[in-house]
Amino acid sequence: MSKVAFLGLGAMGARMAANLVKAGHAVTVWNRSPAATADLTALGAAAAPSPRAAAAGADFVIAMVADDTASRAVWLDDKTGALAGLDPEAVAIECSTLSPAWAAQLAAAVTATGAGFLEAPVVGTLPQAQDGKLIVLAGGEVATFETARPALAPLAAAIHHVGPVGRGAVMKLAVNGLLGIQLAAWAEMLGFLGKAGFDAAAALDVLTTLPVASPAAATYARLMQAGDFAVRFPIDLMTKDFRYGTQAADGLKADTPVADATLAVLERAREAGHGGENVSALIRLYTGR
């Protein structure tokens, strides 16, 4: 088994790191709030005071943080960044949902040290992270991808190599774009049905059996109907992903009017105070709940 450093123990990261410990890897963890390391150390992980210290001596260094800014701090901070602790034989694996531009910059910084780099954003939320059933969308050199497989295997039901660095970020933003567009539409249509006098539960009993309902959208629609806004995927993070996606599309001169409209809906939900709630809270824009 390998020595793995895991950086970022939010709701997703903590579950992913736990699966690495359970798989028998020697895991060292770091989190900006040190209290979050307690559950992992109880499982057998070691805790490090900084990303740099966690990375020292590791075969694989995995990060799972919120955005480009957090990723930049974790890897490149002058005093505490993991980059300075990387062994030249190590592989840096960035599992966060990032902009393609930052993924490329980070890859260049890592490979300049002699270490390998793989972007490996994941598809799935808390249940999949808990069960080690995430889907990995990896971008990077094929040889680096194959080297990193053992570190990713305990986290994932499937691991896909989608191309060079940057492609993983683009694919993940496309996945979240497709999900967000559906959920914005479902919230809007459920609001419409409610105004027309339909019982939401009865309407969903019909709608979720139809080909128009993807499994993911049907799940979130049920959460909307139940008023369940407990955080699995917060509106704030989905908004960030749509910003990254539409900015990347603009750079490619790709037209994304539906994504642009969905971003406006997400921004509206944030302005209404729902940014920290689950994306199912989009229904609140149409029901007043």
The CATH architecture annotation of domain 3-164 reads 3-Layer(aba) Sandwich (3.40)
Q: Sign of the C-alpha dihedral, residues 160, 54, 154, 116?
A: positive
* Residue 158 host element (H or E): strand 156-163
Interacting residues of 108 by C-beta distance below 8 A, sequence separation 6+: none
For CATH 1.10.1040.10, the residue range(s) in the chain are 170-287
Q: Which residue in the list 22, 172, 240, 253 is annotated as catalytic?
A: 172
Q: What is the pLDDT of residue 148?
A: 98
Q: What is the pLDDT of residue 75?
A: 98
Distances (CA, A) of 198 to 62, 182, 183, 185: 47, 20, 19, 17
Give the closest residue to 133 by CA, choosing from 285, 284, 16: 16
For CATH 3.40.50.720, the residue range(s) in the chain are 3-164
Q: What is the pLDDT of residue 1?
A: 84
Q: Sign of the C-alpha dihedral, residues 258, 260, 262, 264?
A: negative
Give the closest residue to 106 by CA, choosing from 72, 142, 81: 72
Angle (nearest 5°) at CA 71 between 65 and 127: 15
Q: What is the pLDDT of residue 2?
A: 97
pLDDT in tens, the chain (289 residues): 899 999 999 999 999 999 999 999 999 999 999 999 999 999 999 999 999 999 999 999 999 999 999 999 999 999 999 999 999 999 999 999 999 999 999 999 999 999 999 999 999 999 999 999 999 999 999 999 999 999 999 999 999 999 999 999 999 999 999 999 999 999 999 999 999 999 999 999 999 999 999 999 999 999 999 999 999 999 999 999 999 999 999 999 999 999 999 999 999 999 999 999 999 999 999 997 7
**Is 79 one of the annotated active-site residues of the chain?**
no
Q: What is the pLDDT of residue 145?
A: 98
Question: Are residues 27 and 21 in contact, defined by beta-carbon separation less than 8 angstroms?
Answer: yes
Question: What's the CATH fold of domain 170-287?
Answer: N-(1-d-carboxylethyl)-l-norvaline Dehydrogenase; domain 2 (1.10.1040)
pTM over 0.85: yes
